[in-house]
Amino acid sequence: MSFNPILILSGEPNSIFLEIFFKARKLSKIRSPLILISSENILKKQMKKLKVKNKINLLNYKNFDFEKLNNKSINLINIDFDQKKPFQKISKKSNKFIEKSFQIAFEIIKKEKIYKFINGPISKKHFLGNKYLGITEYISKKFSAKKNCMLIYNKKLSVCPVTTHLPLKQVSKNISKKKIKQKITLINNFYKNVLGYVPKIGVVGLNPHCESVSNFNEDQKIIRPAIEDLKTKYNISGPYSADTVFIKNIRKKFDVIVGMYHDQVLTPIKTLYEYDAINITLGLPFIRISPDHGPNEKMLGKNLSNPLSLIQAIKFLEKH
């Protein structure tokens, strides 16, 4: 196992992330030094609110020794953020803080000092606006990664949507043989090179029962030909009907199920495994993981949030 440092960006300051970060540190035996990029001001206020006691080890990100770090204290790279209360309503006020956090994280990663990265939840509406579909695309752009893939990973079954945060009415226009092949290739290479085995991949059709009353059937014209082209290289089959592929006796045949749009595969995977999944971006020159939850404003300050997804993210990075 590799216990190299893990860089963690807290993301939106008014989220449940620091709560689950505190819980993950307490509940899980973590060997890798954790380096948190966040606000000392927010950190202290939320620690007081949630009754967490920990020392803070302030780091100068341009000059510190990774090898001497441990988790006895919270290793913090401070980004200034002025807020009087521990929690407030999410707004664009945090945009500069988040952008600066990412800037410093990317600077560290590009210097190749750290290649394991976790980011906390970001409010896409406030931070991204209409510039990017999601954080996957935002980070990929910063590293000029033209090919990327959102993999919601669980060791029993993972899923990948070919399109990410698109309105449903735009999905059919944004699927193509090329895009499907790119996602499948990234998934296969990740499983083979990082996890050490060739995955069994099932692909879901777009339309109900893979049938369509329109003249153009995407399942027959785009999805099936893409699968046929890939069969000589990969362990892949489909297209399968989305209403049956997640039935127990069918899903157990696969390591990964690839769908055409976000909720088609994320709804069933979250129903099956709830918090026991992590969001991995494939196609980057480092491993980027995000716990599979959002800012969750309704739970702020209640100290009731489940840290399992962050614990699984840290465990995954300690193994790989």
* pLDDT tens readout for residues 180-234: 999 999 999 999 999 999 999 999 999 999 888 788 899 999 999 999 999 999 9
pLDDT band at 32 (very low <50, low <70, confident <90, very high): very high
Give CA separation, 270 vs 38, 153, 157, 159, 247, in Å: 28, 11, 11, 10, 14
- Please give the Cα distance from 300 to 123 (Å, whole number): 14
pLDDT of residue 241: 96
pLDDT of residue 293: 75
Please say whether the beta carbons of 242 and 205 come within 8 A: yes
Please say whether the beta carbons of 11 and 119 come within 8 A: yes
Please say whether the beta carbons of 82 and 41 come within 8 A: yes
Please say whether the beta carbons of 114 and 33 come within 8 A: no
- Mean pLDDT of the chain, nearest integer: 94
Please say whether the beta carbons of 37 and 5 come within 8 A: no
CA neighbor of 143 nearest in space, from 280, 5, 281, 9? 281
* pLDDT tens readout for residues 62-107: 887 777 889 999 999 999 999 999 999 999 999 999 999 999 999 9
pLDDT of residue 62: 85
Coil, strand or helix: which one is 83? coil
pLDDT of residue 111: 84
317, pLDDT greater than 90:
yes
pLDDT of residue 67: 76
CA neighbor of 158 nearest in space, from 303, 272, 314, 297? 272
Residue count of the chain, please give it: 320
292, pLDDT greater than 80:
no
- Please give the Cα distance from 45 to 23 (Å, whole number): 16
Please count the other Cβ atoms lying within 10 Å of the Cβ belonging to residue 308.
22
- Please give the Cα distance from 41 to 46 (Å, whole number): 9
CA neighbor of 307 nearest in space, from 275, 274, 267? 275
Coarse DSSP helix, strand, coil percentages of the chain, rounded to the nearest 5 percent: 40, 15, 45
- For tokens 């807290």, the residue is 10
pLDDT of residue 2: 52
Please say whether the beta carbons of 205 and 223 come within 8 A: yes
Query: Which residues pair with residue 75 across a beta bridge?
Result: 35, 57
- Please give the Cα distance from 116 to 314 (Å, whole number): 9
262, pLDDT greater than 90:
yes
- Please give the Cα distance from 82 to 238 (Å, whole number): 52
The kind and range of the H/E element at 225 are: helix 224-230
* pLDDT tens readout for residues 118-153: 999 999 889 998 889 899 999 999 999 999 999 999
Interacting residues of 253 by C-beta distance below 8 A, sequence separation 6+: 200, 202
pLDDT of residue 295: 87
Coil, strand or helix: which one is 179? helix
- For tokens 């860089």, the residue is 7
pLDDT (average), residues 237-241:
97
Write down all domains in the chain, each with its CATH number in brackets. 1-145+284-320 (3.40.718.10), 150-276 (3.40.718.10)
Biggest CA pair distance of the chain: 65
